Chains A and B, each alone.
Chain A
Amino acid sequence: MARYVVNRLAQAIMLLVIVSAIGFALLHLAPGGPLSQFAISGQMTQEDLDRVTRQLGLDRPLPIQYLDWFGRMLKGDWGKSYRDGEAVLSVISSHLGATLELMATATIIAVLLGCWIGILGALRRYSLFDTLATVGAMIALSIPTFWFGLVTIYVFSVKLGWLPAGNRQTIGDGSFLDLLHHLIAPAMVLALIETAMWGRFMRSSMLEVIGQDYIRTARAKGMPEWRILTVHALRNALLPMITVAGLQFPTLLGGALVAETVFTWPGMGRLFLDSIGYRDYPVVMGILMFSATMVLIGSLIADILYAVVDPRIRVG
């Protein structure tokens, strides 16, 4: 087990190095490179730019600059926002809460609903329910999230007037019920694709398990059907879902960005888009690196957890 964890950890660190190299390359691709902030303002002459370039050490060889940059990233110095000079990491962390709230709510909805649909679909394979669920999942995966958001706003805010059309809370309010009221629509929109994914994975995992020999053995020895399903089938079918949670993470983050835009939700995705509009490259690159690192850590945790619950994995 320890060897597996160390192995997996080493892989993750190597990936982090490549991920950071991509991030560094992007930073240098920006018009004006890391100095783009000054280059676009037009306030500086070429001489000034050359001087700043030397002062900041941007005339050194790229590998050295990369090591320097990577070292500062590890220490938590991710640069400063062009807009207000605030440190990038603190800008990100002040928006992270809203995003995590949205993602967690959507995930809870998606896991409960998706697993239920998937299990039922597998148990009654090719039934009307299963067919509708399969077709519905495919359509759900094909609907652009932002458009589903627009439709949701039109139906539930414009026509029915049940839900607010955006924002995280009513100004001046901020009670739990008010927050919840604002959370429903964006969480529902974000949960759509997630539910479809969880449903599909759950269905195929369940189908695989109930075809196994040990299920037939359990039936043969006269075990009641509900006990076979809960004790033998479900427990084993739920294990691979840990991997799904890890795989889902990038999609979930991307979906959150879109949902936040449509519902003016003050989270990281919205911050990302605003920063692009302001050409605030340090924040853009910061969020890009931050999200990639989150994905990396997410898949690492998922892999290790899976190895903990399923000893067969550790061997391979």
Chain B
Amino acid sequence: MATAALSTVQLAPGQAAWRRFRRHRLALAGAVIIVILVLGSALGPYLLPFDDTYIDIMKRFAPPLSGAHILGTDELGRDVLARLMMGGRISLSIGIVAMVIAMAVGIVVGAFAGFYGGAVGAVLMRLVDAVLCFPTIFLLLALAALTEPGLVTTTVLIAATAWMSVARVVEAQVRSLREREFAVAALAFGSSNLRIMFRELVPNAIAPIVVAATLNVAKAILLESYVSYLGYGIQPPAASWGNMLNNAQIYLTSAPWLAIAPGVAITLAVTSFNFLGDGLRDALDPRMNIP
């Protein structure tokens, strides 16, 4: 026992976090599923003899596991598995890129608001509060209606409706960190404000930022599915998990598999990122384990 306790003390913070993370089975499962989904979407299309946009009218509505089409074909005879994989490329990329943009905006706004406080902070944070007043889907659809739909606009618009929560997290962290000794010391050394903000304060808030980033990917994938399902996101013939469900409702009676595969893919991806975020929160914030 004594040696075990001793070795725990000597663990580097990173190792300790890894140990806590490993205990969180669901987070681990989430990470594995994410890797499988990413690899499947990235490499899968090369292994499949079907093109995702190839229309084969003679083979419309082939049910799953009938012949060569593992997940069946859709209303135009396109292979559902091929579309699912190509759709995965788009949906997962949008999730990750939108997260990166949202994080960048959120971190900059949050860092400035938290560091300067006062009038600057108040104005920036009231802006965050104001944007949060708009229900996300309403704002996203209104913006999408004003712009040409497509991959880039969809990604940017999702980021535009997702940065506020990050800004709140970063603002709170920076506001408390800037009073700490190391920040005061950096100031005494004559570091510039920008340097203190982004080289001292933000890196010290990395744990909540990483958690927020992970949960943000989940949110972005979900939002992409909503706008694309409603017809204002990724446009056919390109596939995304959301727009594959576009016509699923019409064929629900005759071809329910068209609704099942993309829905399961979205749920699986979003759940995995959410569990991963949850596990990272437990692993990176040891205080959460005490109560």
A residues near B (Cβ < 8 Å) are 14-15, 18-19, 22, 26, 29-31, 135, 138-139, 141-147, 150-151, 153-154, 158, 207, 211, 250-251, 253-254, 257-258, 261-262, 272-273, 276, 279, 284-285, 287-288, 291-293, 295-296
Min CB–CB distance B78 → chain A (angstroms)? 20
B194 close to A (CB within 8 Å):
no
Report whether B135 and A141 are in contact in the complex, using a CB–CB cutoff of 8 Å.
no
- Which 4 pairs from chain A and chain B are nearest by CB? A18-B130, A142-B270, A147-B263, A254-B137
Q: Which residues of B contact A158 (CB under 8 A)?
A: 252-253, 256
Report whether A295 and B271 are in contact in the complex, using a CB–CB cutoff of 8 Å.
no
Interface of A is mostly: helix
CB contacts under 8 Å to A, within B249-273, are 249, 252-253, 256, 259, 262-263, 266-267, 270-271
Report whether A141 and B274 are in contact in the complex, using a CB–CB cutoff of 8 Å.
yes
A245 CA / B39 CA spacing, docked (Å)? 40
B187 close to A (CB within 8 Å):
no
Q: Which residue of B lies closest to A138 (CB)?
A: B274
- Which size class do B's interface residues fall under? 35 or more
Report whether A254 and B135 are in contact in the complex, using a CB–CB cutoff of 8 Å.
yes
B105 close to A (CB within 8 Å):
no
Min CB–CB distance B288 → chain A (angstroms)? 11
Q: CB-defined interface of B134-151 with A at 8 Å, one 1/0 digit per residue?
A: 111111011111100000
Q: Which residues of B contact A29 (CB under 8 A)?
A: 146
Report whether A276 and B142 are in contact in the complex, using a CB–CB cutoff of 8 Å.
yes
Q: Which residues of B contact A293 (CB under 8 A)?
A: 133
Min CB–CB distance B239 → chain A (angstroms)? 16
B230 close to A (CB within 8 Å):
yes
Contact check: which of A26, A207, A287, A292 meets B143 at CB < 8 Å? A26
Q: Which residues of B contact A147 (CB under 8 A)?
A: 225, 245, 259, 262-263, 266-267
Contact check: which of A30, A272, A279 meets B141 at CB < 8 Å? A272
Min CB–CB distance B196 → chain A (angstroms)? 29
Min CB–CB distance A258 → chain B (angstroms)? 7
Report whether A292 and B26 are in contact in the complex, using a CB–CB cutoff of 8 Å.
no
What are 30 residue pairs bridging A and B, where the CB atoms are less than 8 Å apart in the complex?
A14-B126, A15-B133, A18-B129, A22-B134, A26-B143, A31-B146, A138-B274, A138-B275, A142-B222, A142-B267, A144-B222, A144-B225, A144-B242, A145-B226, A150-B245, A153-B252, A211-B291, A253-B138, A254-B136, A257-B135, A257-B137, A257-B138, A257-B141, A261-B230, A273-B141, A284-B142, A284-B145, A285-B142, A288-B139, A295-B135
